[in-house]
A = this chain, B = another copy of it.
Amino acid sequence: MKTQRQIAVRNYESRKGFIHHYQKLIKEVVIPYQYAVLHDQVEGVEKSHVVANFENAAKAVRGEDPGDGFYGMVFQDSDAAKWIEAASYSLAVFPDKDLEQKVDELIDKIEAAQDKDGYLNTYYTIKDKEKRWTNLLEGHELYCAGHMMEAAVAYYETTRKDKLLGVMQKNAAHIYQRFVTEGKEGYPGHPEVELALLRLYRATGDRKCLELAKHFIDVRGVDPEFYKREVENRDWKVWGNDASNYDYQQSGKPVREQTDATGHSVRAVYLYTGMADLAAETEDQELLEACRRLFESITNKRMYVTGGIGSTVLGEAFTVDYNLPNDTAYAETCASIGLMFFASRMLEAEVDSVYGDVMERAFYNTVLAGMQLDGKRFFYVNPLEVIPGISGEAVTHKHALPQRPGWYTCACCPPNVARCLASIGKYAYGENETTIFVHLFMEGKVSFENGLTLSCETKYPYEFKASYQVLEGNGNMAVREPDWSRDKFRILVNGREQTGIKKKGYWYLEDIKAGDVIEVLFDEQVKTIHASSRVASNSGCAALQRGPLVYCVEGIDNEGDVLSLSYAEYGESKAEKFEPELLGGTIRLKVDGYKTAKIQSLYTYEKNKPEPYTITAVPYYTWGNRGLGQMRVWLPERS
């Protein structure tokens, strides 16, 4: 039993302001653009061929010649799945017959590409059926299946149309047959199917999906040598991944014994999301305890202040505790989305504001930074320091691009941002039989299964107040107190200040009812953040945060030179007025600081006295939207 659970995406509707702007951008720009990319209708971007792959696979299934064959990464199918999932969420908020028809057409193509036995993956169906299930380490069959299951559930939940759901139930049955009934050994190289099977289980009630998810989680790492044998038993490879790098694939130990978040960071958080979901679903305390340890390992030892995770491009991976380089960070957009998934499932297991805090940090900083403000360009990698001439250029910094490119050969992040933003309501709000939960503060109308309906008015994250009006029903309400608003957090119910029950960072309000107005007031001060001295890269440095937004300093606002700046240790940071025309509407900070004169020599014995300088900072999520320039989140601090 879950303590509380995500609301259905269709039950949250944004109407104006910050979140609505993003959801509209997803609907109007991102989803149509990605649709065009998937159909190879966009000039000058990497070829996708995703839809063509399904068409060609359908021919192969029918025994016909598969046309121009397969093109793309081994996990190319997942781009279609993520697009359907994003479109489904968007349809829940913005009904759109045309888009729905496009999804239906694509689903028809997917259905046609499914083999009679339920198998579905265009790479193997087109290229070589004999290779199926022979390379779990790199083959991404279970990964693609997982994404398509999520798409099926999302589309079903929005439209109640169950064609894709049926396809994926059949696919799940095929996998169950292979791995449970026939006892084929192994577990997914890239976790994803675990969390997807649990969603499929809840959508269909099919306990075999639950059982299969549990199976993959239970067997993982019990026999770490599995991948080595697999390599020996096959004569093909995708990239030649090192089967003995247990850390990379989170398989050195059974998951219940794992203590450190390791390896490929997206794989890690997808796995932990499935684990947390299963732990709550089955009340598996040992598994939940492992999840707590892994969450703590990430968020207290291996996470950037922006909610980014993955310190290195080598394996797109976690490294070791407190190794958080700012300039060579990987901090993949997808990984922060996965961290939100994990945090949200942990909240379902136990309501504690640490999870909501991390979800909010990842969302408002790394996830939003992953997308250009116009919705047309995307970052995979979200560094905390960018220096033109070094970033994207030095051999060690090739991955840390100083500007967002349009589309990638490996296009995982853009559709992931789309599905995250389109479904943000389910992360923001939760419920159980008696109580509704506010995890994130987002404008809109939200209805709950117990009949409560709320309307939220807020200009968050740029105003420090959220007003909830109860439109219908009655029940209890729990509201997260953010870490950055600790002790300066107030709740007024119908104008009366609450001093009531606070448990693990949530305020509990009993018996709210139609007509009540609940006002939540946050700390509006600019906060100075310091990192633990164990983090070498941030020694002597500070970062700024206001509300959930971590700020950064860009060259364009500071005479092109960020590297010469430092914050004044006891100085003031003033928030400017909201500027609707700047960076999609934002608030800049004016911060007391210093600027060091440029010296020509590499080293000097001369004192280089810094002059007072007012530094301008902007929210991290807006960086890189005004051309090429320096950027830093952490600046040295001096008094």
Contacts and interface: CB of A to CB of B under 8 A. Distances in A.
A312 B311 CA distance: 17
A563 B534 contact: yes
B541 A394 contact: no
A536 interface: yes
Contacts of A303: 602
A540 interface: yes
Contact of A563 (B397, B536, B601): B536
Contact of A564 (B533, B638, B639): B533
Contacts of A315: 395
A514 interface: no
16 contacts: A301-B602, A319-B390, A320-B389, A323-B396, A327-B536, A385-B536, A387-B536, A532-B601, A533-B564, A540-B541, A540-B635, A540-B636, A540-B638, A638-B638, A638-B639, A639-B639
A239 interface: no
A319 B536 contact: no
Q: What does DSSP make chain A's interface, helix, strand, loop or mixed? A: loop
A604 interface: yes
A316 to B, nearest CB: 11
A74 interface: no
Nearest to A299: B602
Given A312-B396, A530-B603, 11 more contacts: A323-B396, A323-B397, A387-B536, A529-B604, A532-B600, A533-B561, A533-B598, A539-B636, A540-B566, A540-B635, A636-B636
A351 to B, nearest CB: 21
User: Which residue, of A599, A603, A638, has the highest number of chain B Cβ atoms within 10 A?
Assistant: A603
Nearest to A597: B533
The size bracket of the interface on A is: 35 or more
Nearest to A550: B603
Nearest to A605: B527
User: Which residue, of A305, A394, A599, A601, has the highest number of chain B Cβ atoms within 10 A?
Assistant: A394
Interface in A533-573: 533-536, 539-541, 545, 561, 563-564, 566, 569
A112 to B, nearest CB: 43
A177 interface: no
A596 interface: yes
Contacts of A275: none
B603 A638 contact: no
A394 B319 contact: yes
A328 interface: yes
A528 interface: yes
B536 A390 contact: yes
A2 to B, nearest CB: 28
B395 A317 contact: yes
User: Which residue, of A301, A320, A528, A539, has the highest number of chain B Cβ atoms within 10 A?
Assistant: A539
Given A387-B536, A536-B385, A394 B603 contact: no
User: Which residue, of A319, A533, A534, A535, has the highest number of chain B Cβ atoms within 10 A?
Assistant: A533
A108 interface: no
A320 B315 CA distance: 24
A636 B540 CA distance: 5
A138 interface: no
Contact of A601 (B300, B312, B396): B300
A329 to B, nearest CB: 11
A100 to B, nearest CB: 44
A323 B638 contact: no
A575 to B, nearest CB: 16
A248 to B, nearest CB: 9
A574 to B, nearest CB: 18
Contacts of A604: 529-530, 532
A529 B605 contact: yes
Interface in A606-639: 606-608, 635-639
A368 B637 CA distance: 34
Given A638-B637, A639-B639, A396 B328 contact: yes
A305 B602 CA distance: 9
A531 interface: yes
Contacts of A322: 387, 389-390, 602
Contacts of A389: 320-322
Nearest to A539: B636
